[in-house]
Copies of this chain bind each other. A is one copy, B any other.
Amino acid sequence: MTDAATSNALPPVVALRRRFHARPELGFLEYGIAAEAASTLTALGWTVQAGPEVMRREAMLGVPGAEAIAAARARALAEGADPAWIARMPDGMTGVVGTLDRGPGPVVALRFDIDALPIEEADALAHPPAAAGFGSAHPGRMHACGHDGHAAIGLEVARLLTAAEWSGKVLLIFQPAEEGGRGALPMVEAGVAAEATHFYAAHLGLGLPSGVVAAEARGFLGSAKIDAVFEGRAAHAGAAPQDGRHAILAAAHAVGALQALPRHGAELTQVNVGRIEGGSGRNVIPDRCRIEFEVRAETEPTLDALHARALAALEGAAALAGCAVRTELMGRTASFLSSPEAAARVARVAAAQGTEVRDVHHVGGGEDAAFFVRAAQARGGEAGYFILGADLADGHHSPRFDFDEAALVPGAALFAALALDALSGAPA
């Protein structure tokens, strides 16, 4: 990281985002960013919980192996993380919750996701992070979705709310592993935000231009994330191919079958096989191939049906090539809708800040904030998800993704104002 990334001339939230951007960490491996969040919140006087205090181990899906976790912890320590916080986050339990309790009043919970993606960031000078010297320093990892900005906003909100006057309680939730839909549920099941009367989360970008806020995001599909391993039988590919069972061929048919799962007549659905890896030597009939995929749907029954047909397709593809298949559910998100009150409050508060407001912005991904939103709504609370417009250099999850940093300062201001508005007891 060059001086540019930590220039004093930058607003703190921007400098922070750049530091986070340069050190992307995959889900359940966000030791560096989580430790920094915990240290910062503590320094600001917030009560901080982390690791098993805020995550239920049994609800964690798709946890990386012990070796990957050990490496992530070591790297975070090498990059300056506080060993005390690292020690409190075993086994990939990288969730952090800061609480500031100032007496009677509403309980407002804000969620910020912190994980990055397994993408090799572009290093061309046309790519702003590379040009400005804060490109990823972690090979094969990239903040290509904007969670670096979310995390930076979260800590800026902590500063703003610490400095403001209010009564009630605020929870700032730094959630790991949003990608893959794995981090929210273990926190919800650990009781995080169980007393919240208000819950808000947001996303930068998503096609909404800089300077605009959408009071409500629609179209987040529910999803299931599944890994499958095909197991065949190795044999010499020249001398005895007839003795082999070709696991890559099985997986190839599975890829075709999954991508061709039936569309629905009235709902959006999605399928993606995002990873494949298999085989050993070129002249060995491959005895193993692994794929990682997800299915998405607007409603739970359709998601369940798609999930079931995906599993059946895997079984058929394995049988077709004389192989077996094992599957593992690695993550799951649900669909959700913002409370009308939440959307109204966001619209009112944002407009009061002079921001251009749209009622609804359609997005087509998945978001495990769903579990927080649904839990809050189930208890009668107000819960919403909004969009902070930010021009993009390229689409989310592209190696050339980047967002307009001008969205960060007003984004933090909106979150803070929203919390204060809710804490004031104002109706939506």
Contacts and interface: CB of A to CB of B under 8 A. Distances in A.
A207 to B, nearest CB: 8
Interface in A256-289: 256-257, 259-260, 262-286, 289
Interface in A221-253: 221, 223, 225, 234-244, 246, 248-249, 251-253
Interface stretch (A10-18, A75-83, A361-369, A415-423): A361-369
B270 A268 contact: no
A329 B282 CA distance: 13
A349 interface: no
A312 B316 contact: no
B238 A296 contact: yes
A337 interface: no
Contacts of A269: 263
A293 interface: yes
A117 B238 contact: no
A277 B235 CA distance: 20
A262 B239 contact: no
Interface stretch (A47-55, A101-109, A319-327, A404-412): A319-327
A318 interface: yes
Nearest to A233: B398
A59 to B, nearest CB: 19
A355 interface: no
A88 interface: no
Contacts of A259: 246, 249, 260
A180 B282 contact: yes
Interface in A308-360: 309, 312-313, 315-322, 330
Contacts of A241: 262-265, 270, 272
Contacts of A244: 262
A56 interface: no
Nearest to A286: B274
Contacts of A281: 117-119, 179-180, 274-275, 397
Contact of A321 (B119, B272, B296, B313): B313
A179 B282 CA distance: 9
A370 to B, nearest CB: 13
Nearest to A282: B274
B282 A236 contact: no
A128 interface: no
Nearest to A226: B282
Contacts of A211: none
Nearest to A220: B238
A286 B275 contact: yes
Contact of A366 (B179, B238, B252): B238
Contact of A235 (B221, B248, B293, B398): B398
Nearest to A240: B265
Contact of A294 (B251, B283, B286): B283
Interface of A: 117-120, 179-180, 206-207, 219, 221, 223, 225, 234-244, 246, 248-249, 251-257, 259-260, 262-286, 289, 292-294, 296, 302, 305, 309, 312-313, 315-322, 330, 362-366, 395-399
Given A236-B365, A252-B255, A253-B257, 15 more contacts: A235-B397, A241-B264, A242-B262, A242-B264, A248-B255, A248-B274, A248-B276, A249-B257, A263-B263, A263-B269, A263-B270, A272-B283, A272-B284, A274-B281, A275-B278
25 contacts: A117-B284, A119-B284, A180-B283, A219-B266, A236-B365, A237-B272, A238-B365, A240-B395, A248-B275, A248-B276, A249-B255, A257-B321, A263-B268, A263-B271, A265-B364, A267-B268, A272-B282, A274-B279, A276-B276, A276-B277, A276-B279, A309-B322, A313-B320, A313-B321, A316-B321
